[in-house]
């Protein structure tokens, strides 16, 4: 009788432990699964994951200049078309500079891509 009782007690302990363990395992599995998904989703998100730092460095070199050039060209063309000199150039050069800075921030991975 005493034996049975002890056995019952042990069985009860073991099943409780098993239940706790399996619950913990399940929680761990869920957490791992969530992290795995995060990790899988992260590269798809965009420009954050350049594997090569040198490649990123090369990107920085022209981004700012390109933005300023486009702004200057649009301003110049608008001024020619509308005869609004110097306001088109003034306005779009500023915007172009801002666009260049945005480009550089994106290339450096500080800011995320457009629309994000």
- Return residues touching other proteins (CB under 8 A): 43-44, 46-47, 49-52, 54-55, 58-59, 61-63, 65-67, 69-71, 74, 92, 95-96, 98-100, 102-103, 106, 113-116
22: left (phi over 0), alpha (psi -120 to 50) or beta: alpha
Smallest gap from Cβ 31 to other proteins, in A, equals: 24
Residue among 15 and 49 whose Cβ is closer to other proteins: 49
Q: Of the two residues 21 and 77, which places its CB atom closer to other proteins in the complex? A: 77
Length of the chain counted residue by residue: 116
Collect contacts of 89-95 with beta carbons under 8 A, ≥24 apart: 93/68, 95/71
The whole-angstrom separation of Cα 17 and Cα 29 is 18
Least distance from other proteins to the Cβ atom of residue 74, Å: 7
**Are 75 and 90 a contacting pair, CB within 8 Å?**
yes
- In the complex with other proteins, the residue whose CB is nearer, 10 or 68, is 68
For other proteins, which is the closer residue by CB, 83 or 115? Answer: 115
- Contact call for residues 44 and 113 (beta carbons, < 8 A): no
Give me the least distance between CB of 57 and other proteins, in Å please: 9
């Amino acid at each position: 009788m005493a034996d049975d009782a002890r056995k019952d007690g042990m069985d009860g302990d073991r099943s409780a432990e098993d239940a706790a363990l399996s619950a913990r395992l399940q929680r761990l599995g869920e957490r791992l699964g969530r992290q795995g998904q995060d990790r899988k989703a992260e590269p798809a998100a965009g420009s954050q994951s350049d594997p090569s730092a040198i490649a990123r460095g090369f990107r920085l070199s022209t981004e700012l200049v390109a933005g300023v050039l486009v702004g200057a060209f649009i301003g110049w063309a608008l001024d020619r078309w509308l005869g609004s000199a110097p306001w088109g150039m003034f306005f779009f050069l500023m915007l172009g500079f801002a666009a260049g800075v945005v480009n550089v921030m994106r290339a450096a991975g500080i800011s995320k891509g457009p629309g994000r």
